[in-house]
Amino acid sequence: MTSIEQFSGFGLGLRRPHYQDFLDGEVAVDFVEVISENYMVEGGNPLRILESVRAKLPVIMHGVSMSVGSAGGLDADYLAKLKALADRIEPLWVSDHLCWTRTSAHNSHDLLPLPYTAEALDLVCDNIDIAQNTLGRAMLFENPSSYMTFPDDEMSECEFIAEMARRSGCYLLLDVNNIYVSAHNHGFSAEDYLARLPMGHVRQIHLAGHTDGEIKIDTHDQPVCDGVWQLYAKAHAMLGDVATMIERDDGIPPLPELLAELDMARSLATSPCKLTPA
């Protein structure tokens, strides 16, 4: 299983409202990211569009249904379809989430939390090993947004993620908005969280918006807020050049608005002092 080299660039999620923009001409991005499950088919227009975009730009495949936290193991049919897509598209890498979504009889279509216990860690690492061996490549896994904790937790999220990466050889997708949301919801320091992560395993950053309230909700339907920009500037200074993308899944604006956000990410990556601290 080969290692994943650093890729320095700035990208967007490829979403249906912007298909034509990418097909018609050059868009000022270094890569696009797609939701893997939307293209895990043998043919059809979405796959045709993805192949046309792939001819112009590198692609990252980002999944939402692997369910590495499922006690019943991974779905072999799902893995076969994911591998077929990866072999066809030849992405920069394949990523998914540290969560569970599925039982043997039901897919929740939601990213559900795990207890941070030794038993859960063993399970997750075993499932990641199966996924990486099936795909023949190392994967990235994303830190979750969190709205609850388990009374039986035996370690922090950071400790769990660090050990997961060490044991499985996987890499990390650092979602800065998820850290910001979880820090608010649970009252911990986002900066301390960053300091405790194994940054050498990070290959990509996600930036997104959320819904504010007493509990912040990771909805991906708002622009990136100032607090997340500030946290991104700190994270990027610790990481150096990694792939950074804006993630918007609802309330999707015209492409120029997302490109303006991406320009902000570029600017902060080179001059983090441009953002006034809160």
pLDDT in tens, 16-38: 999 999 999 999 999 999 999 99
- CB distance 116 to 154 below 8 Å: yes
- pTM for the model stands at 0.95
Q: What angle do CA 133, 78, 116 make, to 5 degrees?
A: 70
pLDDT at 3: 83
- Please give, one letter per residue, the 3-state secondary structure of 60-123: EEECCCCCCCCCCCCCHHHHHHHHHHHHHHCCCCEEEECCEEECCCCEEEEEECCCCCHHHHHH
Q: Residue 271: which pLDDT band, with cuts at 50, 70 and 90?
A: confident
Q: What is the pLDDT of residues 89-124, one digit of tens each?
A: 999 999 999 998 866 555 656 788 999 999 999 999
Ramachandran angles phi, psi of 59, nearest 5°: -125, 140
What SS3 class is residue 167? helix
Amino acid at the residue 105: A
Task: Determine the average pLDDT of the residues in 49-71.
Answer: 97
pLDDT digits (tens, 9 = 90+) for 191-242: 999 999 999 999 999 999 999 999 999 999 999 999 999 999 999 999 988 9
269: which strand partners? none
Residue 274 in this model has a pLDDT that exceeds 60: no
As a whole number of angstroms, the distance between CA 183 and CA 175 comes to 12
Quickly list DSSP for 211-228.
B-SSS-B--S-SPPPHHH
Residue 209: which of 191, 229, 189, 186 has the closest Cα? 229
Domain ranges of the chain: 9-274
Domain 9-274 CATH class label? alpha beta
pLDDT of amino acid 278:
45
**Do the beta carbons of residue 57 and residue 31 sit within 8 Å?**
yes
Report whether 141 contacts 114 (CB < 8 A).
no
Q: 217 to each of 17, 150, 185, how far by Cα in Å?
A: 24, 19, 9
